[in-house]
Every structure is written in C-alpha cells, then in structure tokens.
Amino acid sequence: MALKPTLYKVELQLVDTDRDVYDSCNFTLTQHPSEKQARMMVRLMVFALNYNRDLKFTKGLSSQDEPDIWQISPSLQVESWIEVGQASPERMRKGVSRAPKVLLYAFGSETDIWWQKNSEAFAALPHIEVYRFKHQQIEQLVDLVAKKMQITVSISEGELYINSGSAEVHLDLIKLL
C-alpha cells in the first residue's frame, strides 16, 4: 500500500521589504511521503522569497518534469522554474530550457561539497541563480511545523525572519551564483 502525502494548512503573512511585497495567502502545503519536514519548510520559505500570485507548488518529488515551484503565465508559458535541494546540473538544464528565470535553493549538511563538485557546471548555464541556506538554521524550521500553521515571513536585505507565534527562526540566504 502506497503511503499518502501529509497535508498542512498554511496561513502565510508576507512582509518583503526587498521587493515591496506585502500580502497574505491561505493554502494547503503537501508533504510527499519521502520528504522530510525540513525540506517541506524550505519549499515554504522559497515560496515566500519568490511570492507572486501566479507562483504554484508542483507535484515536486513525484514528478521528473516539474520543479518544486513554478510560475506559469496565463498563456501557459513557464516564467520561473524553482528547485529546492542539491539538484544536479542536468536537472537544472531542463529548467533553463523551459524558463527564462531559473532559481536553485540548496540546503543540507553536504551543500559545500555538492557546490565544489558542481559549481563550474552551474556557471556554464544561462540565466540561473543559485542560493544556499545554512544547515543549522534550516533544522530550526522543523520547530514551526504544525497541521495548521500561521506563519509570518519578513524578508529584509536577503535575510528571513520567520514567526509562528510560538517560535521564531532567522535564516540567512547566501548567493552562490
């Protein structure tokens, strides 16, 4: 019997002074059966960092043809292809071929090794930006997980301040490329 995804109700309040975006939205965030809570929360933070009304979560881990998050235009063109984790250059090449804006947000304890191994291949790709989160900070995001989450994300000068009412987390975003 296949495992079912876990669903979380999210009420997101966004204050992004870097982009002058101030909004709130309610949605269901799905955790794939093989996905850890830390990765799910990184997807939520990346959604906040890139938020606009056309941004959508995809099937994610269960699809080879879609990124974790994307922005589709009304004419069904992929405008932004956004991946989370330590994606391969080959995976990101797919995004570069389909979207004018491609973003990768890496995290995890092995990110430095992954970046040393792949940085040249990523640098050869057009219109891609690569960022990383500090592993220790990401682990703190798990403390915010609840079946019903009320999360406020404040973004200023590339730093994220996350508040759930019961806990606060600070994330530094580091641009690699």
pLDDT at 64: 74
What's the rounded Cα separation, in Å, for the pair 54 and 161? Answer: 23
pLDDT at 59: 79
What's the rounded Cα separation, in Å, for the pair 134 and 138? Answer: 6
Fold of 6-175: Restriction endonuclease-like alpha-beta roll fold (3.10.640)
pLDDT at 118: 97
Domain residue extents for the chain: 6-175
CA angle 95, 173, 64 (to 5 degrees): 25
Torsion angle of C-alpha atoms 8, 12, 17, 21, degrees rounded to 10: 110
How would you write the pLDDT of the chain (177 residues) with one tens digit per residue?
678 999 999 999 999 999 999 999 999 999 999 999 999 999 999 999 999 999 999 976 656 789 999 999 999 999 999 999 999 999 999 999 999 999 999 999 999 999 999 999 999 999 999 999 999 999 999 999 999 999 999 999 999 999 999 899 999 999 999
pTM: 0.93
